[in-house]
Amino acid sequence: MTTATYTVKGMTCGHCVSSVKEEVGGIPGVSGVQVDLGTGLVTVESETPVDAALIRSAVAEAGYEVADPS
C-alpha cells in the first residue's frame, strides 16, 4: 500500500470535498481518498504509486487545483 498527500487549493465546503473525493477515487488503482477541508490536504491510498499527473487531472476535473510543493 502506498500513500501520497497533495494540497488542494480552493475547497470551501463539504460539496467541494465530495467532488474531489469522487474524482480522485475514480482513478484506477486508488483504494482510498481522505480530504481535510481545513488544511486542504488530500491523502490518496493505492496498492501501487499513482502518477501525480492523474491526481492533478482528477482534481482539476472537480474544479480545483493541486498546489505546487514548496
What pLDDT, in 10s, does the model give residues 1-13? 999 999 999 999 9
pTM: 0.93
Answer with the residue of higher pLDDT: 21 or 70: 21
- Classify domain 2-66 by CATH number: 3.30.70.100
State residue 68's pLDDT score: 82
Domains of the chain, residue spans:
2-66
Q: Please state whether beta strands 65-66 and 2-9 pair in parallel, antiparallel, or not at all (unpaired).
A: antiparallel
- DSSP β-bridge partners for residue 44: 4, 33
The pLDDT of residue 70 is above 60: no
Alpha carbon distances (Å) from 18 to 44, 46, 47, 51, 62: 14, 19, 22, 21, 9
